[in-house]
Structure 1
Amino acid sequence: MTRPLTALLKKGVPFKWAELQQQAFSQVKWAMVQAPVLALPDFSQEFIVETDACDKGIGAVLLQNGHPIAYLSKALGVKAQALFTYEKECLAILMAVNKWRAYLQNNEFVIQTNHKSLTHLGEQKLTTSMQHKAFIKLMGLQYKIRYKQGAENRVADALSRRDADEELSAISVGRPKWLESVVDWYDQDEEAKQLLAQLIINLVGVEHFTLTNGVIRF
């Protein structure tokens, strides 16, 4: 989608703005204004909870088949920032399980963390208050804790490190498959492509037509 634009940035390539570059630019603008669509939960499928913690925040993402269902991010207070890394990672798990218990309580689910020692949480001797809290919160739930390297735990890691003053919003939307077919057809019809490009640049610039969530409406 962005290849015609990135090609203009190469050394020795003259800057030439033609119809191909304009179409690519319009597609980028359209993609940037679409709401982030999350998958709807399927209770017949396995849920996966990925968690992470950093110095000042904790984050988690609820997944199914590699697709996000929901996100969670929280800044740590001064007292919580003084906790050991193990305790912060444990706190991230507690926060996620407490938030998504309604999804997790019916079947076995997987907790993925980048802190290896937490994979033995159920076998360890309870010596800290945080371990006691974790044991109580997870009691009655069917779960497995798996280790996932930090380099692969990108989503939860990003959520744990975002600025405390920022806000995170996500929208879960159901969309019929026939509507997806309509949107895919736009690329095969020249009139539809031109209309889409005009509406992206100016949402009220074409009489009788509007653009809503990437769908042209009359």
Structure 2
Amino acid sequence: MAPVTECVKGVKFQWTPEAKKGFQKIKEQLTIAPILVLPDFSQPFELHSDASKVGIRAVLSQDGKPVAYFSEKLTGSRVHYSTYDIEFYAVVQAVKHWRHYLFHRELILYTDHDSLRHLHSHDKISARHAAWSAYLQQFTFDLKHKAGVSNRVADALSRRVNLLSTMTIQEPGFDSFRDLFDSDTYFSEVMADVRAREKSEFSMVDGFLFRGNQLCVPDCSPCLQIIKELHGEGHVGRDRTFQLVKASYFWPTIWKEVERYVERCRICQVSKGKATKAGLYMPLPVPTQP
């Protein structure tokens, strides 16, 4: 694929033997099994991704049958990414490419880089990883390890896990949200509009209320736990914590509660440098001689 893309990237067109060979191989792969099938939105999707120092590639499939293919050649600074970053980047780019298929759909993400499964257990993560992680949390997915190319799309799905299960909240639990929206001061009016099918940015998915891609959280204890888990991944400060929470969740007092939690975070207060006022200006001594 790379020799073909090199011919159409704003340079003088030159059809090389390598490009001709690559183009012929593309045609052969598109006309032999496995042939693409139409997506079935009642079934979960499977996304297999892989990466190398040359580029990234991914396959979106269902029940072992490919729905679509994706590839991207690495350029610029991405060529110098670590193996971990390239594998992570492959997952994020593939999900972005098929986001119109995957919003509010169950998805199994397969990757051959096992350490990606333990991202949320890290004490600190970089700003880049935090941004990628926040984006992925908009989707319903379970991340699984694929042991090399031998473990292909034919792996059977053993369970369906969605965005709600990525958090470790147990009490009162996300399942209770279904019964709390109607009694909530703010969301009860929203629920009435949704049921009346009035034009609204809110929608119902499997009994849960969403604002766009954000899961609505009624006035209950998980609000604090959500902030605690997302802030605790890297203690990234008030504004960044707010962005992480807002990427996947919504409730009317979200900013106020994030601000209050970060102000009271002991680790952040200990790590924060102390700034003191410069004080009054002092006059320079008058010289006694030239």
CA distance in 1, matches of 2:54, 2:122: 26
Structure 1 pair 127–38 and aligned structure 2 pair: CA distance change class (3 A): same
CA distance in 2, matches of 1:34, 1:83: 31
Residue aligning to 1:82 = 80
Structure 1 pair 142–35 and aligned structure 2 pair: CA distance change class (3 A): same
Residue aligning to 1:129 = 127
CA distance in 2, matches of 1:49, 1:78: 26
Question: 1:34 Cα deviation (Å)?
Answer: 7.5
**Deviations along 1:113-158, whole A, 9 cap, x unmatched?**
0000001223334422331121121122111100001132568xxx
Paired residue total: 125
Q: TM-score, normalised by structure 2?
A: 0.40
- List alignment gaps of at least 5 residues for structure 2: 1-27, 154-290
Structure 1 pair 125–35 and aligned structure 2 pair: CA distance change class (3 A): same
Structure 1 pair 148–68 and aligned structure 2 pair: CA distance change class (3 A): same
**8 A contact 1:39–1:68 mirrored in 2:** yes
Question: 1:81 Cα deviation (Å)?
Answer: 1.1
- List alignment gaps of at least 5 residues for structure 1: 1-31, 156-218
CA distance in 2, matches of 1:78, 1:105: 30
CA distance in 1, matches of 2:116, 2:140: 16
Residue aligning to 1:120 = 118
Q: TM-score, normalised by structure 1?
A: 0.52
CA distance in 2, matches of 1:110, 1:59: 16
Question: 1:40 Cα deviation (Å)?
Answer: 0.2
* Structure 1 position 69 matched with structure 2 position 67: yes
Q: Structure 1: which amino acid aligns with 2:149?
A: A
**Deviations along 1:171-201, whole A, 9 cap, x unmatched?**
xxxxxxxxxxxxxxxxxxxxxxxxxxxxxxx
Residue aligning to 1:35 = 31
CA distance in 2, matches of 1:49, 1:136: 18
Q: Structure 1: which amino acid aligns with 2:74?
A: L
Question: 1:112 Cα deviation (Å)?
Answer: 0.2
What root-mean-square deviation, in Å, do the aligned CA atoms of Structure 1 and Structure 2 show?
Answer: 2.3
CA distance in 2, matches of 1:53, 1:124: 22
CA distance in 1, matches of 2:102, 2:72: 20
**Deviations along 1:54-89, whole A, 9 cap, x unmatched?**
011111000100000000011101311111000000
**8 A contact 1:91–1:130 mirrored in 2:** no
Identity %: 36
CA distance in 1, matches of 2:29, 2:73: 27
Residue aligning to 1:16 = none
